[in-house]
Amino acid sequence: MARRPLPRILSTGSAQIARSRDLARAQFARSRELARTAGDSASDVLHPLITITRGLRRLATAGRRRWAETPKDKRGPLLFLVASVILVVALVPYGPLLAVITVMAAAAWQGRDRRPTEPDGPDESQLERLRALYEALVPYFSAADDPAPLYTHGGEWEKAFPEFEFDGTGRVGRLLVRYPAYFTDGEAQARARIEHLLTTKSGRGREYHFDWDEEGNELTVTVLAPLPTDIAAQRFVTTPGETVLGFTDPSGVQRTLPLTHGARQLDVPPVVWRTGIRSTEPHLLVVGQPGTGTSTLLRSIALQALQYGDVVIVEGGSTGEYACLTGRDGVLAVECGLAGALASMEWAATETERRLIAVNRARQAGNPPPEDTKRPLWLLLDRPTAFTHLAAADDRKDPLSLLQVPLRHGRAANVTVVVAEQWDTVDALSDAVRQHTRARVVLGPATAGQLESVLGAPPHTTPVADVPPGRGYARLGTGPVHRLQVPATPDPYDDATSDAHRQAVLELLPERTAPVEAERLTNLEKAEPEPEPVPVEAVVAETT
């Protein structure tokens, strides 16, 4: 059967449409170019007039300012002097013409563009920095069998660094690095070598953010600005179950909080930790050296937790960092000794079991959970491993062993555990603490290996040796690693605290109640006795 040709309108219609579209695009581009050329020509022609007009406006502003600054008793003689000058100029031959020329010249001088001319490209010192970076990357980004190498000794660095910026000190502030496709950017060790090299060559003492684009074979190096360290503790705009750990970079989170910073109002991106029944990271572990802000973070968490719940504080350092919270409304106990720590943690374990049983019975009866199980309970432990040695020497139970029930079943019972420990004793923490604290914070100087061992992932920034107190990294569960700056929450009873920060903490403290009696914890243990003990494991099995 013979194949019939397509109609002409079908065979040539698409070509005509494409030709018309290309013609329209060309006309539009030509029109835009003509408009831009006309605008540039008009700007060049009218530039003297624009300059003179700007100068006349500046002269008029200066005249009004001089008239306003002149005292009232001297304005009459000034007017007489101006009128005399105008009369003399009018009577002199060619006086008005010379006066107009003088005013126009003065206006042209005052209306000139005073902005400093910026160089079109980097200066000689900046060029030397870029060449040094390029030469240093040649051994890592070159191969012997590459027919067209991007990196060669003495090669063109402009192709490897298409974008770059410098800060006020002449050092690199932002750099876009292109690398060949055969570079093993999927290996952590290879990437770490490049990051270390760029950090060393670009300038030490700064934090760099590395953004690897494996698909485009590009690496963006950005110098991070320092986080604010003088934001005082205050009431944050959060909902129940949200705790602000600190502040981070704007690119790390998609939320900001309105804060008071001195006399200004700022919107700062926070690191918000969500706790409660629906939380996936119900407990927190904080690690740092002495003086890095671990106690400051626990005080900040305590002040936020007291808005909606009760707090039990166990301090293993015995430094009195939490004396300001003793006897406050909502603070059940502040313990610094072994006996008090054991009593508080035993009561916390019993309270967790009681809440689980009460919630389970209410659900089986078809009733809502009791009100006393809805109020959050916080256990804040600062250096609890200090009691481990004391308990072993006194042949008593290890306090950390009592954390297993609150850690394992705390989310269902609305109980949150926060543990702060130092680097030299972090290995003494129990397996329950390591397993159930999915939210992690590291404060102070730390190596990349230490950060990865605690956070579970390396940060995308380079840690520095000297950091202010309260500065570190945070990771919530399996999320990204954020830079963190803890709000300034010092001990208000410390003499070294500034008056502004001391007053900010004192305003957040709850009202002081009657002193805590010695038998309070004993009464709490005996409150609402159960007719028959029910194992916690059985309760959890029935609930699930």
The set of residues, in sequence order, having a beta carbon less than 8 Å from that of 373 and lying 6+ positions away, is 355, 358, 359, 413, 414
Is 288 annotated among the ligand-binding residues?
yes
Is 294 annotated among the ligand-binding residues?
yes
Distance CA 339, CA 39 (A): 84
Is 290 annotated among the ligand-binding residues?
yes
Distance CA 162, CA 159 (A): 6
What SS3 state is found at 334?
strand
Q: How big is the chain, counted in residues?
A: 544
DSSP 8-class letter at 253: -
Scored b (16 or more CB within 10 A) or e, 499-511 reads eebbebbeebbee
Q: Which amino acid is at 524?
A: L
Dihedral angle sign, alpha carbons of residues 343, 349, 354, 359: positive
Distance CA 378, CA 401 (A): 17
Q: How distant, in Å, are the alpha carbons of 15, 25, 508 from that of 28?
A: 20, 5, 64
Is 111 annotated among the ligand-binding residues?
no
Do residues 174 and 220 touch, judged by C-beta distance below 8 A? yes
Distance CA 350, CA 379 (A): 13
Distance CA 461, CA 451 (A): 11
Distance CA 87, CA 445 (A): 77
Distance CA 12, CA 8 (A): 6
CB-based burial label for 305 (10 Å; 0-12, 13-18, 19+): buried
Is 300 annotated among the ligand-binding residues?
no
Is 485 annotated among the ligand-binding residues?
no
Q: What is the three-state SS of 411-437?
A: HHHCEEEEEEECHHHHHHCCHHHHHHC
**Paired residues of 334 in beta bridges:** 313
User: Tokens 């320092």 identify what position?
Assistant: 226
DSSP 8-class letter at 148: S
Give the count of alpha carbons within 13 A of 429, CB side only: 24
Scored b (16 or more CB within 10 A) or e, 261-271 reads eeeeeeebbbb
Long-range contacts made by residues 388-396, C-beta under 8 angstroms, separation at least 24? 388/428, 390/338, 391/338, 391/342, 394/338, 396/338, 396/342
Can you read off the two tokens belonging to residue 74? 């001297």
Phi, psi of 89 (to 5 degrees): -65, -35
CB-based burial label for 174 (10 Å; 0-12, 13-18, 19+): middle
Binding-site residues from annotation: 288-295
Known binding-site residues for ATP equal 288-295
